[in-house]
Amino acid sequence: MVAPDVTFPMELPASFNLSEYFLDRNLDEGRRDKVAVRVGSEHRTYGEIHDGVLRMSAALRDAGVRPEERVLIVLPDGFEFVEAWFATLRVGAVFAMVNPLLKAKDYAYYLDYSRAAAVFTHESVLPEIGEALRSAAACRAAFVVGEDAGGFTPYEEARRAADPSGEGAAAEPVGPDGIAGWLFTSGSTGEPKACVHAGRDFAYSTETYALQVAGYREEDVCLSVPKLFFGYATGTNLMFPFRVGATVVLFEGRATADEILDQVEAHRPTFLTGVPTLFNNVLRSDRCGAADLSSLRVSLSAGEALPPALYEEWKERTGVEILDGIGSAEMFHIYISSVMGEVVPGSLGRLVPGYVAEVVDPEGRPVEDGDPGRLRIAGGSTALCYWGDKDKSNATFQGAWCTSADVFRRDADGLFWYVGRGDDLLKVSGIWVSPLEIENVLLDHAAVHECCVVGRDDGDGLVKAHAIVVCAQGHQGSDDLASGLKAHVKEMLAPHKYPRSFEWRTEPLPRNDRGKIARKLLK
């Protein structure tokens, strides 16, 4: 395996700290009074965010948090998340972020696994996390946002009491290779594991994908559907905007179509970080026809496959292309992406500058263009390991290379096409079938709102495609509809790929905390 050239696009100082790279630079470049973050009718400037970060940095040090120790952030999106995240980096600690809507057993796992020295959380999370916090031997401090801190340290009290001008607020000179963050996998094959990243990894994706592909600008206003605990959004709606001095819009609630349209109306974003489900829900909303979406300049999509028909409908409605891409916790962020003006619907586009890739067979040998295989990706943002799992680390990481579980094909023009997860593929009539391919065809039918294709035993011990379908408004599941959908798929795909059976659902399909359809639950 040839070592790839992943030279960093800029020279990083020996005392490199991500808090200075993303935040302090805005003060140095004259943006102290520019609005950095908006939450509802409130806002904070870069100077105000910086002051809060200095205060919470001092509070962390006063609590005895040391460099390289983990700090668990369990917060809804808001000013406090931003301050806590930067403060963690500033003192040289390691951020680990999880969903604030989990259950007690999940928080007990994360606290035990991370051995977090400090936790930032919210009063609304205490009923689930409180017991685990009290019994977490490694945790020396818990800062709680809200009026009732439940016996832990009130966030605002700690913020007010801290000295932003003392040594406790200084940036720790951790260096580019110091550990900066943990990004959790989705846990699709067991408990979530942390991908361990150095500081330079986050800067690398920023200098390549954010600046050279997505094209963030200082004048941008950025809005995200995924929440900040998810690395996709931590990048697109915190790190990347702060790198150029843009403005970030945050909100606590669920990202429903109504909520997103309200945020667009109130804040006029130019950058929208989305997922296919959200784009679809907005287009199906009764408000979509009258909504003013003219402020949008860029729409980003990742996390699940973007059906070509959905892309075309969004572009027709808004005039804005969706830049679909794929990334992973192992690589921090997006490494293959469409680019403005060159989108090929259904394709994920090309390699982000600074990344190299191979499509390989089960023995690790590169396959011919057009043939499917696992993706082996390399770049300057590859994680060091999975924390506490040497065997899995050795199987996945080989220096700058990362061998993913995702199956792709690359065409002769260098475009990448997503086939699916290796463990999701179905073998039907002796031939491998991608559920995603069938789902995209079903979603192109007017009667289908959302769907998931899984493998089911046909009663003779043979696996066949089984479609779980939520019907579009005005349609109902029936034998006639099943026949129509089978015919529709047969027209578009090879005969062996059509679903042999259908299951009708009236409620939305279950999703994981990243917003993806929870395929393993539906299996």
Cβ atoms < 10 Å from Cβ of 138? 13
Which tokens sit at 422?
């290796």
Please state the rounded mean pLDDT for residues 195-202. 97
Residues 39, 52: contact at Cβ < 8 Å?
no
Please state the rounded mean pLDDT for residues 91-110. 94
Please state the rounded mean pLDDT for residues 65-91. 98
pLDDT in tens, 300-322: 999 777 889 899 999 999 999 99
Which residues are within 8 A (CB) of 302 and not within 5 positions of it... i.e. 6 or more apart? 232, 275, 324, 325, 326, 327, 334
- Looking at residue 517, the DSSP 8-state letter turns out to be B
Give me the DSSP letters along 106-145: HHHHHHHHHT-SEEEEEGGGHHHHHHHHHH-TT--EEEEE
Domains of the chain: 18-198 (3.40.50.12780), 426-522 (3.30.300.30)
Three-state secondary structure readout of 63-86: CCCCCCCEEEEECCCCHHHHHHHH
Cα separation, 467 vs 437, whole angstroms = 12
pLDDT in tens, 422-461: 767 776 655 667 788 899 899 999 999 999 998 887 665 5
Question: What pLDDT is stored for residue 3 in this prediction?
Answer: 61
Burial code (b: 16+ CB inside 10 Å, e: under 16) for 145-167 equals bbeebbebbbbeebbeebebeee
Percentage of the chain lying above the pLDDT 90 cut: 79
What angle in degrees, to the nearest 10, is found between the helix axes of 276-284 and 257-267?
A: 80
End-to-end CA distance of the chain: 36
Radius of gyration of the chain (CA): 23
Burial (CB < 10 A; 0-12, 13-18, 19+), residue 110, is buried
Q: Report the C-alpha dihedral over residues 50, 53, 57, 59, rounded to 10 degrees.
A: 120
pLDDT in tens, 25-38: 999 999 999 999 99
Cα separation, 448 vs 264, whole angstroms = 27
Burial code (b: 16+ CB inside 10 Å, e: under 16) for 488-513 equals bbeeebeeebbbbebbebeeebeebb
Question: What pLDDT is stored for residue 474 in this prediction?
Answer: 93
Cα separation, 456 vs 193, whole angstroms = 29
Cα separation, 122 vs 199, whole angstroms = 27
Question: What pLDDT is stored for residue 461 in this prediction?
Answer: 59
pLDDT in tens, 267-287: 999 999 998 888 988 999 999
Question: What pLDDT is stored for residue 93 in this prediction?
Answer: 98
Reported pTM: 0.84
φ/ψ (deg, to 5) at 370: 95, -20
